[in-house]
Amino acid sequence: MEAGSAAYGPCETLLAEVTDGVLLVTFNRPEVRNAINRQVQLDLRAVLETARADDTVGAVVLTGAGEKAFIAGADISQVAGYTKLTALDSDLQRLFDLVEEFPKPTIAAVNGFALGGGCEIAMACDIRIASRTARFGLPETALSVLPGAGGTQRLARLIGTGRAIELVLTGRMVDADEAERIGLVTAVTQPDELIAKAREIAATILARGPLATRLAKLVIRAGMDADQRTGQVVERLAQAVLYESEDKLEGTAAFLGKRPPQFTGQ
């Protein structure tokens, strides 16, 4: 499906294209380094809602237009007008929760600056890969606010409390190599290989049982907010569902028959 098609647009701030089961969503405001404004939020929510119901989409890749930025944060001209009610409504936090809870695998392909909300939405994705030009940071304290779209919580869970506090309090940016070393991203590539690498990872996931990958994602995330014993109970329940699924029967039959499986997600 081509960018701007009836199913995924036209969007004012995003490009969306489905190829081989992968929906590539490109934040398309390069003139402002793809900064997130209200329209970006509305467009992304609409695209994700469409993708959720689209059986041709098995995975989603998020990236930014141009070479300078993935997303260089929120649109400061709008942030200047925010009030305590804006924070309590937390539209951006809720949007990033939608990304995190999206049932299909999500990959952030980070090119250039991922600052503030850009770093936060990348952390909401299941997998993060980075171009060597990528730079990550949460500079909000310089404006006397904090990373309030889930950034304080997701960063600590990804890289540990001590490192998270240091990065949030200082606003220090980290390059791609440091991001990989501390566990913020899982792979670093050359800029011209970034999208190909994201598609390669997506294709690897799509070759596996879709119901299993969906439940694995759910179990891992649910377990992060529970003690280990509770997490393992959730794990057993998910496994019980999978043991009686059509895909489990197909997967084992294909393995024993030495043929590629034909999964249906059932």
DSSP string, 168-209: HHH---EEHHHHHHHTS-SEEE-GGGHHHHHHHHHHHHHTS-
∠ CA 170-93-154, rounded to 5°: 50
Q: What fold does the segment set 14-206 form as a domain?
A: 2-enoyl-CoA Hydratase; Chain A, domain 1 (3.90.226)
Picking from 128, 165, 125, the residue whose alpha carbon sits closest to that of residue 147 is 165
CATH architecture for residues 210-256: Orthogonal Bundle (1.10)
Domain with CATH 3.90.226.10 in the chain: 14-206
Q: Choosing from 31, 100, 101, 120, which is the catalytic residue?
A: 120
- Cβ contacts of residue 228 below 8 Å, gap of 6+? none
Q: What is the pLDDT along the chain (266 residues), one digit of tens a residue?
A: 344 444 676 788 999 999 999 999 999 999 999 999 999 999 999 999 999 999 999 999 999 999 899 999 877 777 767 777 777 778 889 999 999 999 999 999 999 999 999 999 999 999 999 999 999 999 999 989 899 899 999 999 999 999 999 999 999 999 999 999 999 999 999 999 999 999 999 999 999 999 999 999 999 999 998 999 999 999 999 999 999 999 999 999 999 999 999 998 88
Q: Choosing from 140, 178, 200, 235, which is the catalytic residue?
A: 140
Q: Return d(Cα 190, Cα 194) in angstroms, integer.
A: 6
Task: Based on the residue annotation, tell me whether 140 is a catalytic residue of this protein.
Answer: yes
Domain with CATH 1.10.12 in the chain: 210-256
The pTM of the full predicted model, rounded to 2 decimals, is 0.92
Task: Based on the residue annotation, tell me whether 120 is a catalytic residue of this protein.
Answer: yes
The pLDDT value recorded for residue 1 is: 38
